[in-house]
Amino acid sequence: MQLSAGDTAWVLVSAAMVLIMTPGLAFFYGGLVRGKSVVNMMMMSFVTIGVVSILWVFFGYSWAFGDSGSSLIGQWTPVGLEHLLGTLPNNGGQYPIPHLAFVGFQLMFAIITPALISGAIADRAKFSAWIVFVTLWTSIVYFPVAHWVFDFGTKAVDGSVTGVGWLTKLGLLDFAGGTAVHINAGAAGLALAIVLGRRVGFRKDPMRPHNIPLVLIGAGLLWFGWFGFNAGSALGANDTAALALLNTQVATGAALVGWLIVERIREGHFTSVGAASGAVAGLVAITPACAFVSPAAAVAVGLIAGGVCAFAISLKHKLGFDDSLDVVGIHLFGGIAGCLLIGFFATTTANSAGANGLFYGGGLELLKKQALGSGAVAVYSFVVTLVLAMVIDKTMGFRISADDEVEGIDSVVHGELAYARRVAIPDVVANPVDDHEHSMFSKTD
């Protein structure tokens, strides 16, 4: 098969767009934390880029996409990627792009997934423990789950296919990672928040975002990069990519509006951080559905996800866990919402490789598969993360001391400050109108 220059260019550009999402996430999270935690928050994303890139070359790609014949895990032997030079990807069928383009594109997904988790433990995690956690979690959780969801197997000369991930074999529809990325990261964030415990001052101090413009810049970069995340998953410049791109845009806009509507009803005003959070919720929810639903259905997915996530972020106050930057409320609940809504809105008119959901005559069969896939990933990620976090906490300690947390993790752990005069960016600002945390939505008790 001859290489397609257009398809190759699109996949390479998409890979670069997905990579920029991780620095964008660093800006988004960095603006949401207090002024004394900005450096640490952004460093957690940047070090993840380095660690996961190394793991991917030596064994990560083979564990996620290597053909061991197993539906649970790829090849267990580190291979270093040398055998892929000059080849075409054979993931369920040949694509007219270099194999290394596929490898690089999938690497960017592996990078951002653990980076998303960091927002759940802002202000209080040891940086060295975070590096160890990223190494272990990416290897034990992300790589196998990526195999379950993304690996369509290896096609032999005789046409037989082996090594198909078990959720793909089940019939789960997840175009770009609602399960493998967002439910996976959201469940892990919940487990880490439980193990590390609450921040000093949780429910007492406002802990408002210190830099809202930085939040909006980060959200904008995430929104831009997400077109590569979703439309790039078509692995070609084709009609599926066009559908995914359009659905990504309209669902995100709808979720932004949906979040603001809930915020206005509940709080009496609209906030820029609410708009940014709603946009991210929409991006999360449309990720699995972007190539399986019509644009009108994508608007519905966005509106529903925006409202669901706006309500979900308040659960941490009711249940008592400290998910600092609402990773659980946005990524876990948004990912589940997007996956389940496929069971209602999916149509083969949009994508003949998909299936019909409940609203298009498909009955409950697809919805059952979506629920099973979402639940399996959530449970696996939560349980394994809980065990990993407890082992790290008991051996090297996962959390900095209370005194260091109050002093500021940036100065204590990194010896740096985000701003020359930190006092000019106060951590607590008197505000007679608002007494909310970063989302500007959930009231403190």
Taking CA 172 as the corner, what is the angle to CA 168 and CA 178, rounded to the nearest 5 degrees?
A: 105
- CA 191: distance to chain centroid? 15
One-character DSSP codes across 265-311: HHHSS--HHHHHHHHHHHHHHHHHHTTTS-HHHHHHHHHHHHHHHHH
Per-residue pLDDT tens digits for 253-268: 999 999 999 999 988 8
Q: Which of 12-26, 198-212, 363-377 has the lowest mean pLDDT?
A: 198-212
Amino acid 421: pLDDT: 62
Residue 432 buriedness (CB in 10 A; 0-12 / 13-18 / 19+): exposed
Q: Which of 146-155, 288-297, 415-424 has the lowest mean pLDDT?
A: 415-424
Amino acid 440: pLDDT: 33
Name the percent of the chain in helix, strand, coil, to the closest 5.
Answer: 65, 5, 30
Nearest C-alpha neighbor of 197 from the set 254, 125, 253, 101: 125
- Residue 284: CA count within 13 A, CB half-sphere: 36
Amino acid 442: pLDDT: 37
d(CA 60, CA 431): 48
pLDDT, mean of residues 323-343:
97
Query: Residue 350: is its pLDDT beyond 80?
Result: yes
Per-residue pLDDT tens digits for 58-95: 999 999 998 888 899 998 777 788 888 888 887 767 78
Q: What superfamily would CATH give domain 5-70+96-150+164-403?
A: Ammonium transporter AmtB like domains (1.10.3430.10)
φ/ψ of 318, rounded to 5, equals -75, -35
Q: Strand, coil or helix: what is 67?
A: coil
pLDDT, mean of residues 265-285:
95
Amino acid 431: pLDDT: 41
Query: Residue 159: is its pLDDT beyond 80?
Result: no
Query: Residue 432: is its pLDDT beyond 60?
Result: no
Amino acid 153: pLDDT: 84
Amino acid 267: pLDDT: 87
441, 263 Cβ separation under 8 angstroms? yes
pLDDT, mean of residues 281-292:
98
* Confidence bin at 204 (pLDDT 50/70/90): confident
d(CA 226, CA 246): 11
Domain ranges for the chain: 5-70+96-150+164-403
pLDDT, mean of residues 197-206:
88
pLDDT, mean of residues 100-116:
97
Nearest C-alpha neighbor of 283 from the set 381, 176, 187: 176
Q: Which of 99-108, 299-308, 417-426 has the lowest mean pLDDT?
A: 417-426
The H-assigned helical ranges of 295-355 are 295-312, 315-319, 327, 333-345
Amino acid 63: pLDDT: 94
Query: Residue 271: is its pLDDT beyond 90?
Result: yes
**Mean residue pLDDT across the chain:** 91
330, 313 Cβ separation under 8 angstroms? yes
Query: Residue 313: is its pLDDT beyond 60?
Result: yes
Query: Residue 438: is its pLDDT beyond 70?
Result: no
